[in-house]
Homo-oligomer: A and B are copies of this chain.
Amino acid sequence: MDIKNIKKEFPIFSQKINGKPLVYLDSANSSQKPKLVIDKISNFYETEFSNVGRSVHTLAVKATNRFEATRDKVQKYLNAKHREEIIFTKSATESINLVASSFGKKHINKGDEILITELEHHSNYVPWHYLRSEKGAIIKFAPVNEDGDVEINSIKNLITDKTKIIAITHISNVTGAILPITKIVDLAKEQNIPVLIDGTQGAPHCNIDMQKIDCDFYAISCHKMYGPNGLGILYMKKKWVDDLPPYQGGGGMINEVKKEDITFAEENTKFEAGTMQTAEVVSFAESLNFIEKLGINNIASHENEILEYGLEKLRKNNSIKIIGNPKSRGSVLCFTLKDIHPHDIATILDEDGVAIRAGHHCCQILHDKLGINATARASIGVYNDKEDIDKLSDAIKNCQKVFQI
């Protein structure tokens, strides 16, 4: 497989949008899926489907083995120390809710501080807000600077002996800033504060090594990693797997159930209640195969090349203002266009087959700080090329024409 030629692995690109070839620049929202992944889903349902972990018949054994083999694969991919550190969830959102709920129940009390940043996606704020309302915890926001970065010092300054957890994004889905997560983890470790990283944008773009990063929790959405809908991953350090109480209750996560009391299963099992997303998990193994075949570092440098080209091209248009100027940037390019609202841009771009997103991208705090209520966002995936950027740039010019500016 060759990155330059990778579009053809994605069936969606044989679609025409309004008669034009699809220019998909909305991967930070959700990525498209390679044929291998899609085919794995059908193939699994057609030949091996069964519920996992519950029955002993051949189909159940096959499904269970594939399911658990994917856990092994994820463990290896993330270089996690133990397979039990890999927990399957519904989404990164659920992963973070799980941590906030289980960690919060046991370790957050009135007056305790939760440290997040102004960059956070609502998924990494609302679950902590619940602890604020229910437990009287305090949320502190590390400020974002003019470049759209969060500096390590601004985190350091907010740590007190009341800080119980730090929850930060790996890559901002608006400014594109790649945060210095390893340094932040090191800083937190000095004070024995656990760190949750919202890796929703980080995992599709960076080489993730859990033993190197050494954070306590890392949340992933598989649908942004060329994988299926409805599946997330939570990496949870063994120490917390053993320590934290379970999250949802139901089949599969129990040890012994009596009328008076219930004891719970151990390891990842206690966090995986009810029938799991077997087909999704099984097909996600193919997404990892896809990423591994190309190499995540190659994907990142390809995306960086397209991004740089995009920044350069868009900067030439004086009406465009690019949001953020972080030291190091993920595959996200947010911008505004003079006198044209992002929603209008998105609608007009779509006429040219160019798919971008407009709005606050679930980051209202950040948009308040920026003093705007919406931005337009082009985000890059492995399948984008310079031609896509050219079309974006032309389509923006067409916007200006429609608006007679």
How far is B276's CA from A45's CA once the two chains are assembled, in angstroms?
21
Q: Is the CB of A350 within 8 A of B56?
A: yes
Q: Is the CB of B249 within 8 A of A56?
A: no
Q: Is the CB of B57 within 8 A of A355?
A: yes
Q: Does A71 contact B (CB under 8 A)?
A: no
Q: Is the CB of B90 within 8 A of A12?
A: no
How far is B362's CA from A91's CA once the two chains are assembled, in angstroms?
25
Contact residues, A82-106 vs B (CB, 8 A): 90-94, 96-97, 100, 105
- Main secondary structure on chain A at its contact with chain B? mixed
Given known pairs A55-B26, A223-B275, the reply for A47 and B251 (CB within 8 Å) is no
Q: Is the CB of B273 within 8 A of A350?
A: no
Interface size class of A (residues with CB under 8 A): 35 or more
Q: Does A15 contact B (CB under 8 A)?
A: yes
**Smallest CB separation, A114 vs chain B (Å):** 13
Contact residues, A314-372 vs B (CB, 8 A): 343, 346-347, 349-350, 354-359, 362, 364-365, 368
Given known pairs A45-B33, A54-B29, the reply for A97 and B248 (CB within 8 Å) is yes
* Inter-chain contacts of A139 with B (CB < 8 A): 259
Q: Does A125 contact B (CB under 8 A)?
A: yes
* Inter-chain contacts of A46 with B (CB < 8 A): 11-12, 35, 38
- A215-250 interface code vs B (CB 8 A; 1 in, 0 out): 000000101000011110000000000000000111
- A237-270 interface code vs B (CB 8 A; 1 in, 0 out): 0000000000011111110111101100000000
Q: Is the CB of B249 within 8 A of A55?
A: no
**Chain B residue nearest to A33 in the complex (CB):** B45
Q: Is the CB of B274 within 8 A of A94?
A: yes
Q: Is the CB of A257 within 8 A of B365?
A: yes
Q: Is the CB of A127 within 8 A of B349?
A: no
Q: Does A32 contact B (CB under 8 A)?
A: yes
Q: Is the CB of A60 within 8 A of B364?
A: no
Set B35, B275, B359: member contacting A229, Cβ < 8 A: B275
Q: Is the CB of A141 within 8 A of B280?
A: no
* Inter-chain contacts of A252 with B (CB < 8 A): 362
**Smallest CB separation, A119 vs chain B (Å):** 13
Given known pairs A38-B46, A250-B127, the reply for A56 and B343 (CB within 8 Å) is yes
Q: Is the CB of A274 within 8 A of B33?
A: no
**Smallest CB separation, A49 vs chain B (Å):** 6
How far is B114's CA from A259's CA once the two chains are assembled, in angstroms?
13
Q: Is the CB of A229 within 8 A of B358?
A: no
Q: List 13 A-B contacts (CB under 8 A).
A: A12-B45, A22-B59, A38-B45, A41-B45, A97-B248, A97-B250, A100-B249, A125-B262, A223-B275, A229-B279, A230-B279, A230-B280, A251-B362
